[in-house]
Chain A
Amino acid sequence: MMEAGSVNFKDNVAKALADPKLQYAMTETGPRFMAKRTKAREALPEFDALRDQARDIKDHVLDHLDIYLDRYEAKVKESGGQVHWAQTAEDARQAILSICKRVGARTVTKGKSMISEEIDLNQCLAENGIQPVETDLGEYIIQLRNERPSHIIAPAIHLTRDQVEEDFRKAHTHLDPNRDLTEIPALVEEARAVLRQKYLEADVGITGANFLIAETGSSIIVTNEGNGDLTQILPRVHIVIASIEKVVPTLEDASTILRVLARSATGQDFSNYTTLSTGGRRAGDPDGPVEYHVVILDNGRSNVLGTEFQDMLRCIRCGACLNHCPVYNALGGHAYGWVYPGPIGSILTPALVGIENAHHLPNASTFCGRCEEVCPMRIPIPKMLRHWREKEFERHLQPKTMRWGLGVWAFVAKRPKLYAKATALAARILANQAHGKGRLRTVPLAGGWTDVRDLPAPQGKTFQQLWKERRS
């Protein structure tokens, strides 16, 4: 499994904040996504009611997950497909690799899949002499740069057009070096032409899945580019890689969740291409893959079933929590150090790689609550961040000084009389230090705060004193 760089979060943050290109690219990201979602939500009066139903569907599925997976598998087999079960990332890689080797694959085209990133599939294929080609434009760009996606649905959001131009000039050396690539449409057209050849040459197409439908044994992918479709209909073999929680009961249930997915993600009413794939080519079909395989991955997800973290498995990877997160929008996705960035990444990463390898992430939050407010699946992200902070404390993962400070605070807070006296004293001292200016430029032991902003000075009385006065 891809090694988590999340333990280096603090260094990553410093680098991200000091990167002018990244900061430029991120300036517009959040506001644009937010405006689009707001508009889509306002245009559909039933939107919030659909969110409730979407949540209930996924809760029902998670409570019956073993049975739904069993029923799903039976339908896949019935329609001529094969299901491969993978407990770990290594199991999933081996399952995919053995299919590719059996059919003598040399080139594999790929639709966008976060699971593929999670199991580091591209590296595995390349090491075995199979060339993986990402076909989603954003994924293609970051593959050229040997980077990870920085956003769940917009993997190259951290880059500017001139960076993409530079990458294309380096990679597409067969084209005229004097061609004009200054405008974005020229870049898109060039990628279209290059990738069209790859689709036609590929032996195997690998896609992710937004949903698996138990009723029919279908997998669903959602794209705007059409890349996931060209990836699956042209090669002889289609492999789907999906995690256990992607299953939904019926076509109706998938439709309900689809209604909130695109609106939450890009503010579209519906993505351009929503594709349901069931088995391989049928008798008389003039096109489509002959073989259809689904690799179902657990990779630690079952560990959160039945715990206070179960609700995170409702996630449909729309990216709304990233788009609305002040921390994500200041940092971009790479600082989070693993596959899933932003608020959802901050609760998912500790679950999948262990809190000891990602204990900074639950702290990368202002608790403003916007993530939960916009989550189409109503995942209580702030509550889960708090649960992870508790685990972090239980496991002694914070620095000694912090634990000592928390200990002192707890000692005082549990003794109301002492607390009232101590806070009154502190308020008086700080008010004096401010010399009537109302703010403090430095405070001992609080450099982390005052290095970048002033501390508003207390006005001389504590909250409790004011409360008493005003009540009487």
Chain B
Amino acid sequence: MSARDAMLANIRAKLPKAPEEARRAAVDGRLASHPRNLIPERGQGDEAHRIRVFTEMMEAVGGTVEVLTDVNDVPESIAAYLRNNNLPAHVRRGADQVLARLPWHRGGALEVVEGRAHDSDRASVTRAFAGVVESGTIIQLSGPENPTTLNFLPEAHIVLLEASALFASYEEAWTKLRGVYGEGIMPRTVNMISGPSRTADIEQTIVRPAHGPKNMHVIIVR
């Protein structure tokens, strides 16, 4: 018997006797229907409410949020953000089509390069797959559009979040994910990020950053 079969048989033997058919049906039923459990009220509401609560939550953990009404203003906004934070006018992005089509010339001297992040990159911009209001969280998916390293290596992580993708709860984001990837199928990495990197490992004192970005800036476009 393989180690796997031995372990599973041992586990089964320890559990109370029950009809196997029913046990399997209970598991497969839950996996197929993935029912939602209790969802907190906090994030529920219209777009203004969602943006307000998301902003509160993100700011409470050291992130910053800016709301724009025109996506074409994003390059200028990024250029200003880098200037205000004493960062070079240089930003790394992935192949995301929305980011690619932005009028980057409006960022003035802003230099935009495409690809995964390198240790020398000071700032990155990604487009979020979703935002979650209840905890001020953005969700990034791996892939050439928004490589995972962009979320972690640079000092400043700038995120473009469309208000239409700002959901009350995690559950709504999972529904969207299943719609894009299919039932039970995931991209290599799903990053749920709530603010810049921090640690409290020395004397319970919160210090930012630990290993990831020092700054996280979310630009919400309505």
Contact in complex: B201, A155 (CB < 8 Å): yes
B135 part of interface (Cβ distance < 8 Å): yes
Contact in complex: B142, A306 (CB < 8 Å): no
Within the complex, the shortest CB–CB distance from A120 to chain B, in Å, comes to 20
Name the one of B40, B177, B188 contacting A281, with C-beta atoms under 8 angstroms. Answer: B188
Q: Roughly how many angstroms separate A218 CA and B31 CA in the complex, as a whole number? A: 13
Q: Roughly how many angstroms separate A73 CA and B57 CA in the complex, as a whole number? A: 36
Q: Among A136, A161, A285, which residue has the most Cβ atoms of chain B within 10 A?
A: A285
Name the one of A137, A252, A272, A286 contacting B115, with C-beta atoms under 8 angstroms. Answer: A286
Q: If A85-B7, A229-B212 touch, does A57 touch B37 (CB 8 Å cutoff)? A: yes
Within the complex, the shortest CB–CB distance from B67 to chain A, in Å, comes to 21
CB-CB under 8 A from B126, the residues of chain A are none
B180 part of interface (Cβ distance < 8 Å): no
Q: Roughly how many angstroms separate A136 CA and B200 CA in the complex, as a whole number? A: 11
B35 part of interface (Cβ distance < 8 Å): yes
Contact in complex: A187, B197 (CB < 8 Å): no
Contact in complex: A85, B205 (CB < 8 Å): no
Contact in complex: B211, A195 (CB < 8 Å): yes
Contact in complex: A252, B186 (CB < 8 Å): no
Contact in complex: B136, A29 (CB < 8 Å): no
A380 part of interface (Cβ distance < 8 Å): no
Tell me the residues in window 224-240 of chain A with beta carbons closer than 8 Å to chain B beta carbons: 224-227, 229-230, 233-234
Q: If A216-B185, A306-B16 touch, does A192 touch B171 (CB 8 Å cutoff)? A: no
Q: Roughly how many angstroms separate A216 CA and B8 CA in the complex, as a whole number? A: 20
Q: Among A224, A298, A302, which residue has the most Cβ atoms of chain B within 10 A?
A: A224
Contact in complex: B210, A46 (CB < 8 Å): no
- How many residues on B have C-beta within 8 angstroms of the other chain's C-beta atoms? 82
Nearest CB to that of A69 among chain B residues?
Answer: B8
Within the complex, the shortest CB–CB distance from A415 to chain B, in Å, comes to 40
- How many residues on A have C-beta within 8 angstroms of the other chain's C-beta atoms? 102
Within the complex, the shortest CB–CB distance from B199 to chain A, in Å, comes to 5
CB-CB under 8 A from A284, the residues of chain B are 143-144
A200 part of interface (Cβ distance < 8 Å): yes
CB-CB under 8 A from B30, the residues of chain A are 60, 249-250
Within the complex, the shortest CB–CB distance from B147 to chain A, in Å, comes to 5
Contact in complex: A276, B204 (CB < 8 Å): no
Tell me the residues in window 15-63 of chain A with beta carbons closer than 8 Å to chain B beta carbons: 25, 28-29, 32-33, 44-46, 49-50, 53, 57, 60, 63
A282 part of interface (Cβ distance < 8 Å): yes
A378 part of interface (Cβ distance < 8 Å): no
Contact in complex: B15, A66 (CB < 8 Å): yes
CB-CB under 8 A from B213, the residues of chain A are 226
A67 part of interface (Cβ distance < 8 Å): yes
CB-CB under 8 A from A192, the residues of chain B are 209-211
Q: Roughly how many angstroms separate A5 CA and B66 CA in the complex, as a whole number? A: 54
CB-CB under 8 A from A286, the residues of chain B are 94, 115-116, 144, 147, 149
A123 part of interface (Cβ distance < 8 Å): no
- The stretch among B19-27, B68-76, B82-90, B105-113 that forms the contact with chain A is B19-27
CB-CB under 8 A from A135, the residues of chain B are 211
Within the complex, the shortest CB–CB distance from A151 to chain B, in Å, comes to 10
Q: Roughly how many angstroms separate A217 CA and B190 CA in the complex, as a whole number? A: 13
The proximity string for B residues 22-61 relative to A, scoring 1 for CB distances below 8 Å and 0 otherwise, is 0110111011001111101110000000000000010001
A-B contact pairs, 7 of them (CB 8 A): A66-B8, A252-B171, A252-B174, A272-B193, A285-B144, A288-B189, A305-B11
Known: A137-B199, A196-B119. 20 other contacts (CB 8 A): A60-B26, A65-B11, A66-B9, A71-B27, A136-B201, A138-B199, A138-B201, A138-B202, A187-B202, A215-B31, A225-B210, A225-B211, A226-B210, A251-B34, A252-B37, A256-B37, A268-B61, A285-B143, A287-B148, A298-B10
Binding site for A on B (CB under 8 A): 2-4, 6-12, 14-16, 18, 23-24, 26-28, 30-31, 34-38, 40-42, 57, 61, 94, 115-117, 119, 134-137, 142-144, 147-149, 151-153, 169-171, 174, 177, 184-205, 207, 209-213
